[in-house]
Amino acid sequence: MGINEKPSQLKPADYASDQEVRWCPGCGDYAILNAVRKTLADNQSDTKNTVFVSGIGCASRLPYYMATYGFHTIHGRAPAFATGIKITNPELDVWIITGDGDSLSIGGNHFIHVLRRNLNCQILLFNNEIYGLTKGQASPTSRTGTVSPTTLNGSVESPVSACELALSSGATFVARGVDTAIKQLVPTLSEAQKHIGTSLVEIYQNCIVYNDDVFKSFTDKSVAIEKQIHLEDGKPMLFGEDNSKGLAINSNYSALETVDLSKNQEHITRVLIHDIKNKTIAYLLSQMDQSTMPVALGIIYRIKKPTLDSNYINKLKTHKNNLSKIMKKGQTWTI
């Protein structure tokens, strides 16, 4: 935006920079970029106070495409840069853009610690379950059996769940979205932006080149309604055609299970009411097996906790500090 223009109402397009967007045609990143721009427009974010900080990877190119401040840093370390930024200027609205490799492989440590410290920022984790930019190697979220240039006979490792890891790191906001359900993603991002603390949003994103259709089993239009559950705080966990199915906890509390209300209406009593503050249920929601259960989308968990940056606000006031006095503290002598 030019320096003199002041549009009364910013539109999503006003958040687009002049740089050509350079992802593969058909990449899920485009839809997410649009959702981000729309979220900023919905909240009328001020471009001058918004900073997108990213690591390295396809997803991490996003800051170049925003008409805000942007910092494309190094692989895996975006949360550390964001921390420096926020403790220096807590007023800035900081968005961390990262991929599954960036945040959970090389950047795993910073991911844990930024959540633990509850820095007031948003983390959008574009999870395509693969390393896109480096041409398709398996990532920590790749499923066991994934065939890639480094796992020719199928990966033997177990994938990590971003949401589960975030919860154990002390996250105060954990949500999930998907590139094919932008209508639901925008309000989730909006809530993330408003949350005071670190907001983690894991976004399933299709990499058309190296991991095409990996989320098809729940994003395909024909199955979406049966395979996705959109969570709402205080509402029963219902999904499926006519909300005919619900989620309940199993008898030994080890997992969630589906109850079919169309077979027996009375099962409704077993259906859990989504309590956004319940960490146990949040764990179970983020652990659900995609092959047998729906995928939980929306805000899984949210609590309030002091933020790291709030501690720095008071300390950033003035340069009239009493350095001179401190230098003279302790033993001195005069000659």
Ligand X SMILES: Cc1ncc(C[n+]2csc(CCOP(=O)(O)OP(=O)(O)O)c2C)c(N)n1
238 touches ligand X (CB under 6 A): no
The distance of closest approach from Cβ of residue 256 to other proteins in the complex, given in angstroms and rounded to an integer, is 30
Amino acid found at 254: S
The distance of closest approach from Cβ of residue 201 to ligand SF4 in the complex, given in angstroms and rounded to an integer, is 17
Residues 88-107 that bind ligand X (CB under 6 A): 99-102
- Mind giving me the DSSP string for 177-222? EETT-HHHHHHHHHHHHHSSSEEEEEEE---TTTSTTTTHHHHSHH
Q: Which contiguous run of DSSP H or E holds residue 325?
A: helix 323-327
128 touches ligand SF4 (CB under 6 A): yes
Beta bridge partners, 173, equal 199, 302
Of residues 57 and 298, the one with the C-beta less far from ligand SF4: 57
Are 104 and 160 contacting, i.e. CB atoms less than 8 angstroms apart?
A: yes
Of residues 101 and 197, the one with the C-beta less far from other proteins: 101
Considering only 31, 36, 58, 115, the residue that binds ligand SF4 (CB under 6 A) is 58
User: Quick one: how far is CA 106 from the chain centroid?
Assistant: 17
Nearest to 13 by CA among 32, 51, 40: 40
Q: Binds 267, which of other proteins, ligand X, Mg ion, none (CB < 5 to 8 A, cut-off by type)? A: none
Binding mask 65-84 for ligand X (x = CB under 6 A): ----------x---------
Tokens 């925003």, residue located: 66
Taking every pair of Cα atoms in the chain, the longest distance, rounded to a whole number of angstroms, is: 95
Considering only 95, 126, 131, 239, the residue that binds other proteins (CB under 8 A) is 131
Q: Binds 305, which of ligand SF4, its own copies, other proteins, none (CB < 5 to 8 A, cut-off by type)? A: its own copies
The distance of closest approach from Cβ of residue 153 to other proteins in the complex, given in angstroms and rounded to an integer, is 8
Of residues 139 and 307, the one with the C-beta less far from Mg ion: 139
Tokens 């998907």, residue located: 178
The distance of closest approach from Cβ of residue 205 to ligand X in the complex, given in angstroms and rounded to an integer, is 7
108-117 vs 78-88: helix axis angle to the nearest 10?
30
Considering only 10, 33, 56, 97, the residue that binds ligand X (CB under 6 A) is 56
The distance of closest approach from Cβ of residue 42 to ligand SF4 in the complex, given in angstroms and rounded to an integer, is 25
Are 317 and 288 contacting, i.e. CB atoms less than 8 angstroms apart?
A: no
Residues 36-65 that bind other proteins (CB under 8 A): 47-51, 53, 56, 58, 63-64
Of residues 97 and 272, the one with the C-beta less far from ligand X: 97
Q: Binds 151, which of ligand SF4, other proteins, its own copies, none (CB < 5 to 8 A, cut-off by type)? A: other proteins
Give the separation between CA 250 and CA 151, rounded to whole angstroms. Answer: 36
Nearest to 145 by CA among 131, 127, 159: 159
Tokens 């009411």, residue located: 273
Binding site for ligand X (CB under 6 A): 56-59, 75, 99-102, 126, 128, 130-134, 139
